Structure 1
Amino acid sequence: MDGFVSFMEAKFIPIASKIGAQRHLVAIRDAFMVTMPLMILGALAVMINNLPIPVFQDFMTSIFKGESWKGFGGSVWNGTFAILSVAIAFLVAYNLANHYGKDGVSAGTVSLASFFALGGATGMSSNGLFIALIVSLVSTELFVRLIGNEKLVIKMPDGVPPAVAKSFAALLPAMIIVSIFGLIAAIFAGFGVEDIITSFYDAVQAPFMGLASTYPAALLIAFITPFLWFFGLHGANMIDPFMQTINAPAIEANALAMSAGKAAPYIVNKPFIDVFVNLGGTGATLGLVIAIFLVGKKHESFSVVNKLSAGPGVFNINEPMLFGLPIVLNPIMFIPFILTPMVLVTTAYFSTKLGLVPAAISMPPWVTPPVLGGILATSSFRGGILAAVNLLISIIIYMPFVKISVIQELKREQRA
């Protein structure tokens, strides 16, 4: 194990750190962080509209003399999921331009205009998400290079307000970039592709989401995040750009399918991972907290760290445990920290696949305590039961490793 850790520190960590700090991935991650409240609100609104409780539905229908009460959820959806791609087109460009030290607002505006020039009006919701990401990255790279070209800068006389001067500095680059995307749309139309976004969704995005919702993909997600965390890298942040590209479309598709009385098409999405796998945080460390309370009290430092970690762990914040116990670079805890999420994703995936538990259709805040999160994400108490079962499994897996750790620490202290 020591040789493996040394090898990873020497070869893997530097590469992973560079990937985690890569400006394009950081820009995508930060953009989705901003839109997270919108996705949570939109998912909750759809969930309320379609809550599978007949008593609730009948009560609301009787009060409003029909289904007009669902207009609230529909309006909230229009202001959240229905404009998600528009928000991402602006925010990714804004963040990326800021990383380059350029005007983020101008870059975001150009990206937004380019998105609509390419046909964004037909893909404002999550079905245009991939195109929005591509357009925002490409348009910003072009903007950063063109804005620095002195031949394209319209210089204003002294005394002109800075805001006006800045807008004229971006005028020619903006015109060039938007025209390029307009030309691309015209070329595609010439070949018979009138709706680029819908065609791209059918050809690429939908198959990719289906592939990402498979069991092997879920298993890989369950493995890679704790694996990165073991070496002190924020695994969740590093894979977040990938997760978000499948997350919003999957949640929206599941919610719309449920409202139409159909089966949810996508099992794997962010709430699925949050409420069934990351119980207490990456590695399902709430199970470790409980395991230490049960069998790790003999060691004082374990007990102290555990008490400090228990409160945050209930709300899925596990940094005190990761760095306090620690789990990071702890060879004994490496096995359960990696194994537990993979076991939990297996039970959750096949429970959903077999219809024992509904698919996740809404996105509770990630700080929602386990079990409650399972109920909210699936709009069913069966989701809470599955989360409780997975929590019990995580405790069982962690317990023998806690015992081993305590024994090893006591022997080390005796030798010292």
Structure 2
Amino acid sequence: MLYVCVSCNFLIVALYNNTAIVIFLLSMIVYIVFKVTTGGTFIEWIYSALQVPLQGLSDSLPGAIGTALFISLLWWFGVHGQSVVNGVVTSLLTANALANSELLRSSGELVVGQGAHIVTQQFLDSFLILSGSGITFGIVAAMLFTAKSQQYKSLGKVSIFPALFNINEPVVFGFPIVMNPIMFIPFIVVPVLAALIVYGAIAIGFLQPFSGVLLPWSTPMVISGLLVGGWQGAVVQIVILAVSVAVYYPFFKKQDSMAYQKEQAVIE
């Protein structure tokens, strides 16, 4: 037994040493190849070949629309869209925000077309997921004030407080929105419209590009807009919330009517 244990230990040490040798050799080969071919390192090549183009794409209207679209699309299929998309875009959008902060420090102003980035982490956290992924404030408002079914009247009361802090799991899973064909269109369209509104507001100069002030994503609506964009940011958020109500309302009424009919059938 002792011989077997000692033999196993020697085998593990040998495998470990061989693995370390292979790793060091491969690292050295990669370093030499990139030093000879590009004049830099592998990390520098990653930055210039991948991060710079991706960062440029993220700071564009298609990039903003794509971010909003994929968050909602993944959520509709039951996947946490914000976590998935954040894993891809957070480093890029944070870099945009820090670049704006540095530009503001050096020049004293942020001007679109003169180096200022439009799409930053604040763009996502304070506007694209306002009241939660899919910007479902419109559903919550409709449940509170226009619902006929007891099911949605109760859900509206439960959902309003979390929605103020951009938490909408009660709506996404309790309504539900996940795999609900009736709610697919508004759940996708509202965030895309929000991206267009915010991008347009910054592009025309109504809303100043965001600096390096990063807020928690759970900062309450309107307050977050005020902190990152002044009164203009609060106004843009209010406009987005109004658009959410207008777009979600007809789809909610259809869903509410179906739920009300089921409740009446049970009563009868």
TM-score range, shorter chain: 0.7 to 0.9
1:8-407 equivalent positions in 2, closer than 5 A: 153-154=12-13, 173-174=19-20, 176-191=22-37, 193-194=39-40, 197-198=43-44, 200-261=46-107, 262-263=110-111, 265-296=116-147, 298-361=148-211, 362-378=213-229, 380-407=230-257
d(CA) in 2 for partners of 1:205, 1:237: 20
Contact in 2 for aligned 1:292/1:306 (Cα 8 Å)? yes
The equivalent of 1:4 in structure 2 is: none
Shift of 1:280: 1.0
Which one scores higher on RCO, CA 8 angstroms, separation ≥ 6?
Answer: 2
Shift of 1:364: 0.8
CA RMSD of aligned residues (A): 2.6
Query: For residue 220 of structure 2, what is the amino acid of its counterpart?
Result: P
- Superposed CA deviations along residues 107-154 of structure 1, whole A, max 9, x for unmatched, are xxxxxxxxxxxxxxxxxxxxxxxxxxxxxxxxxxxxxxxxxxx98842
Q: Matched residue of 1:154: which SS?
A: helix
Query: For residue 243 of structure 1, what is the amino acid of its counterpart?
Result: V
Shift of 1:191: 4.1
- Superposed CA deviations along residues 169-219 of structure 1, whole A, max 9, x for unmatched, are 856644542453344333433346146544543443222211122212221
Q: Matched residues, percent identical?
A: 31
List alignment gaps of at least 5 residues for structure 2: 1-8
Q: Matched residue of 1:206: which SS?
A: helix
TM-score (norm 2): 0.82
Contact in 1 for aligned 2:134/2:190 (Cα 8 Å)? yes
Q: Matched residue of 1:369: which SS?
A: coil
Pair 239,152 (structure 1): closer, same or farther in 2 beyond 3 Å: farther
Pair 375,181 (structure 1): closer, same or farther in 2 beyond 3 Å: farther
Pair 232,189 (structure 1): closer, same or farther in 2 beyond 3 Å: closer
Q: Matched residue of 2:13: which SS?
A: coil
Contact in 1 for aligned 2:142/2:249 (Cα 8 Å)? yes
d(CA) in 1 for partners of 2:119, 2:10: 50
Contact in 1 for aligned 2:151/2:259 (Cα 8 Å)? no
The equivalent of 1:117 in structure 2 is: none
Contact in 1 for aligned 2:30/2:42 (Cα 8 Å)? no
Structure 1's consecutive aligned runs of 4 or more residues displaced over 6 angstroms after TM superposition are none
Contact in 2 for aligned 1:274/1:366 (Cα 8 Å)? yes
Contact in 1 for aligned 2:58/2:93 (Cα 8 Å)? no
- Superposed CA deviations along residues 331-355 of structure 1, whole A, max 9, x for unmatched, are 2222211111111111111111222
Pair 228,187 (structure 1): closer, same or farther in 2 beyond 3 Å: closer
Pair 411,192 (structure 1): closer, same or farther in 2 beyond 3 Å: closer
The equivalent of 1:414 in structure 2 is: 264
Q: Matched residue of 2:177: which SS?
A: coil
Pair 220,192 (structure 1): closer, same or farther in 2 beyond 3 Å: closer
Shift of 1:269: 3.1
Q: Matched residue of 1:266: which SS?
A: coil
Pair 221,153 (structure 1): closer, same or farther in 2 beyond 3 Å: same
List alignment gaps of at least 5 residues for structure 1: 1-149, 156-168
d(CA) in 2 for partners of 1:376, 1:309: 24
d(CA) in 1 for partners of 2:210, 2:17: 45
d(CA) in 2 for partners of 1:227, 1:284: 13
Pair 226,199 (structure 1): closer, same or farther in 2 beyond 3 Å: closer
